[in-house]
């Protein structure tokens, strides 16, 4: 397992995948963001291991997270994480639900 998948915003690494959960590290580059997205079959729990992260929830709420903070993202919740600092951000992401496929994503364009 432990393959690192490169993305424009950084990378991710799957560290565990079972029937009921998937766990990965997200490595988010400074001043980069992921797409605004929601999932239909899974919720996520994020724990910030390093750096800082700002998360926009449902297009309105902005939550500031720093090392040691965590956030629950329920199924069907729009979320848009971005590293607003000049240092890398490392997030431990735990997914729970019925499906952990990368295709379980709806992205919203702006």
Burial of 89 (0-12, 13-18, 19+ CB in 10 A): buried
Q: On the CB side of 46, how many CA atoms lie within 13 Å of its CA?
A: 25
Q: What is the pTM of this model?
A: 0.90
Structure tokens at 82: 């971005």
Per-residue pLDDT of the chain (110 residues; tens, 9 = 90+): 568 999 999 999 999 999 889 999 999 999 999 999 999 988 999 999 999 999 999 989 999 999 999 999 999 999 999 999 999 999 999 999 877 777 777 778 75
């Amino acid at each position: 397992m432990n393959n690192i998948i490169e993305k424009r915003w950084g990378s991710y690494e799957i560290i565990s995948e079972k029937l009921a959960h998937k766990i990965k590290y997200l490595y988010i580059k400074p001043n980069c963001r992921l797409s605004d997205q929601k999932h239909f079959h899974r919720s996520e729990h994020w724990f910030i291991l390093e750096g800082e992260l700002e998360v926009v929830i449902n297009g309105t709420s902005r939550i500031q997270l720093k090392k040691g903070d965590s956030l629950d993202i329920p199924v069907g919740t729009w979320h848009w994480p971005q590293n607003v600092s000049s240092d890398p951000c490392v997030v431990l992401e735990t997914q729970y639900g019925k499906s952990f496929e990368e295709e379980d994503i709806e992205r919203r364009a702006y």
